[in-house]
């Protein structure tokens, strides 16, 4: 389930990068979470965290690219910790968080006390849980880019429809005709196209980009 209404086209995502720190038996665990929309973005984020904490004992990570709970594109790494004690519990927390398009890096500075397998699992999973609890959240809406070309006389009627269908204006160009590049929620696309055709008496020309 991707949100309270069960709409798979809308689900929570990180609104911005967020970081928390915990100290457990003198080891510092610093968890940074961020939004990632591709495996390449996830790897770039991980690379940045490695550069930010080059002297860390470990930079363990996990990510979920896609809707909450989706396992189609996931990744994880223990980064030298005992197998299964860091990346796996981090990924498990992400998959059950109800948040999509999210990556987490937990940076550890070893404090001299071994935590054991169970302690590590709890520490790494707990660090991610703590970060997600305080993380600002936004909403991902499945959308389509729509180019609409109309005559100058229809501009006013067209623009009045933007807020009604939650259309975001990306760009506008004025030449022989006026062209508006919009981002429209996919679920509202057909209705908006129909409304535009009514408002422009069938004169609008559409180009979609999924």
In whole angstroms, what is the distance from residue 13 CA to residue 34 CA? 9
Q: What percent of the chain has pLDDT over 90?
A: 86
Span 127-139, mean pLDDT? 97
Look up residue 51 and give its DSSP letter. H
Give me the pLDDT at residue 187, please: 86
Res. 3: pLDDT tops 70: no
Task: Kindly state the tokens that stand for 6.
Answer: 């069960």
Half-sphere exposure of 176 (CA within 13 A, CB side): 0
Question: Which range among 87-96, 111-120, 124-133, 178-187 shows the weakest confidence by mean pLDDT?
Answer: 178-187
Domain boundaries, the chain: 10-139, 142-209
CB 158 within 8 A of CB 146: no
Pick the CATH number of 10-139 from 3.40.50.10860, 3.30.420.40, 3.90.1660.10, 3.30.230.30: 3.30.230.30
* H or E element in which residue 47 lies: helix 39-52
* 155 Cβ neighbours under 8 A, 6+ residues apart: 178
Look up residue 110 and give its DSSP letter. -
Place of tokens 């180009």: 207
Q: How confident is the model at residue 9 (pLDDT cuts 50, 70, 90)?
A: low
For residue 129, give Cα distances in angstroms to 4, 21, 138, 180, 186.
20, 12, 18, 42, 32
Look up residue 130 and give its DSSP letter. H
In whole angstroms, what is the distance from residue 102 CA to residue 15 CA? 10
What are the tens digits of pLDDT across the range 32-71?
A: 999 998 999 999 999 999 999 999 999 999 999 988 999 9
* Helix and strand numbers, DSSP H then E, in the chain: 5, 11
**Higher-confidence position of 143 and 202:** 202
Span 168-192, mean pLDDT? 93
CATH topology of domain 142-209: Alpha-Beta Plaits (3.30.70)
Tell me the DSSP string of 154-177: GHHHHHTTTGGGTPEEEEEEESSS
Place of tokens 């908006």: 192
């Amino acid at each position: 389930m991707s949100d309270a209404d069960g709409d798979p086209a809308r689900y929570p995502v990180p609104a911005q990068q967020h970081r928390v720190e915990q100290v457990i038996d003198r080891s510092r665990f610093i968890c940074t979470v961020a939004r990632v929309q591709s495996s390449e973005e996830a790897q770039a984020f991980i690379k940045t965290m490695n550069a930010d904490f080059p002297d860390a004992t470990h930079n363990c990570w996990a990510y979920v690219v896609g809707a909450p709970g989706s396992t189609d594109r996931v990744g994880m790494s223990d980064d030298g910790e005992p197998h299964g004690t860091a990346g796996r519990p981090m990924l498990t927390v992400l998959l059950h968080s109800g948040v999509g398009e999210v990556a987490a890096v937990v940076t550890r500075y070893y404090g001299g006390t071994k935590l054991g397998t169970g302690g590590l699992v709890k520490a790494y999973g707990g660090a991610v849980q703590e970060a997600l609890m305080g993380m600002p959240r936004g909403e991902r809406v499945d959308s389509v880019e729509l180019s609409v070309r109309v005559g100058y006389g229809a501009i006013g009627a067209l623009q009045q429809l933007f807020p009604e269908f939650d259309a975001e204006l990306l760009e506008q160009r004025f030449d022989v005709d006026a062209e508006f590049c919009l981002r429209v929620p996919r679920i509202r696309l057909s209705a908006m196209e129909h409304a535009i055709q009514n408002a422009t008496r069938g004169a609008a020309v559409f180009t979609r980009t999924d």
